[in-house]
Structures are given as C-alpha cells and as structure tokens.
Amino acid sequence: MTFHKKLIWIFLFSVALSTNSFGQQSLTPAVERLFTKMESDILTAAEAMPEDKFDFTPENIKIKKSNFKGVRTFGGQVLHLATDNIFMWSAITGDSVRADIEDVNGPKTLKTKKEIIEYLKSSFAIGHKAISTLTNQNAMDEIDYMWRKLPRLDLTFYAVTHSNEHYGQMVVYLRLCGITPPATANQK
C-alpha cells in the first residue's frame, strides 16, 4: 500500500471514529487533527534548516546515478508548498490569493528564512480557516479549482496529501545536510 493510500485510509478511519452511527458530528475535527500534525511536522522541519542552507539542493551532491537536476532548493520547496496551500485552501474559503503570487513557486520577493516561514505559517492559517468551514453537509459540494470543479473534500484530501509529499522531500534535504528532522528526533 502506498503512502498516499495509507494516509487516505488513516483519514477515513479518523472520520469514522469522529462521527457517531447517525453521522451527526462533523468530520472537521478529524481533518483538523491530521492537518495540525502535518503543520507541526512541516514547520519544525522548516525551522530546523539553517538559513545558510535554505538554498541547498541535492543537485550539488555528487551521487552516482542520481537525478536531482533542476529540483527546487529547500527554501523553494517551502515556498511552493505554502503557495499551493494558499491556492487550495483559498478555493475552499472563497478568499482571493495574495496579489504578489505569480505562480506555484510563490512571491519572488520572499528571500530570507524568516520571510519564507512567515509565509508558510500564513498558508496554514488559511488551511485552518478552510477546515473550519467543512461540514458533513457541504463536503461533497463542488467548488471551482483551477480548470475544474471538484468536491471540497477532494480538495481537502489533495491539500493534505500534497503537503505531506513536500514534507517528505524536506526530510530528505534535512538528512542530506546532516540534520535529523525534529518530528523524528522527538519520537525517540
């Protein structure tokens, strides 16, 4: 079973546990728990990388038979993750996105670790707002996202899955820089 399938099954199981047999409770608490854990893991990973390594990319490491050509820097990963968070969660809330976002790589003006992490935090705030609007009644309502319509719950799954994919990449970058990801270090 792939990581994504496991994540979806864990989410669905959490939803099932958070609702009674009549489905009277909201699925919001289950989504919020998963999102809060993901937010913590990503923020602590971003904060763990020293500022002088925010430009790190595995492309600079000489590894036989590797293919890291053209990958984003660590800071670029964080900017992209935050930008996609903003796009997806804003589609759910109906809010407009920042005017300085030109593409999926985020605002070009954000350069320092502090600026990038603040931007990341703001993307999670939009996520919490979006999750608070999710109900059993509107979860399957279709909303416009990019070039298509899809249910709010589908976009919620995609937002969480996408963030976890980039968290996995951030973990690899941290480890290549000799840093144990805080979420892993805290489990010991």
Indicate whether this model's pTM tops 0.85: no
Asked which of 55-64, 90-99, 101-110, 156-165 is least confident by mean pLDDT, the reply is: 55-64
Judge whether residue 23 has pLDDT over 70: no
Consecutive H or E run containing 65: none
Q: Can you give the pLDDT at residue 6?
A: 57
* Residue 159: CB atoms within 10 Å: 24
CATH number at residue 159: 1.20.120.450
Region at 146 (left for phi over 0; alpha for psi -120 to 50; beta for the rest): left
The range of the structural domain enclosing residue 109 comes to 3-185
Mean pLDDT of 156-169: 93
Token representation of residue 126: 């939009």
Tell me the DSSP string of 20-45. Answer: -TT--S-SHHHHHHHHHHHHHHHHHH
pLDDT digits (tens, 9 = 90+) for 48-70: 999 999 999 888 777 666 777 77
Mean pLDDT of 102-121: 95
- How many domains, the chain? 1
How confident is the prediction for the chain on average, in pLDDT? 86
Query: Higher pLDDT residue, 152 or 2?
Result: 152
Q: Residues near 1 by Cβ (< 8 Å), separated by ≥ 6?
A: 9
- CA–CA distance from 73 to each of 34, 117, 154 (Å)? 26, 14, 29
Query: Higher pLDDT residue, 130 or 1?
Result: 130
Q: Report the percent of the chain where pLDDT is more than 90.
A: 66
Which band of pLDDT confidence, cut at 50, 70 and 90, is reported for residue 147? confident
State the virtual CA torsion across 158, 82, 144, 101 in degrees, nearest 10: -150
Tell me the DSSP string of 104-150. Answer: TT--TT--SHHHHHHHHHHHHHHHHHHHHH--TTTTT-EEEETTEEE
Q: Angle CA(154)–CA(168)–CA(121) in degrees, nearest 5?
A: 70
Check: CB of residue 19 under 8 Å from CB of residue 165: no
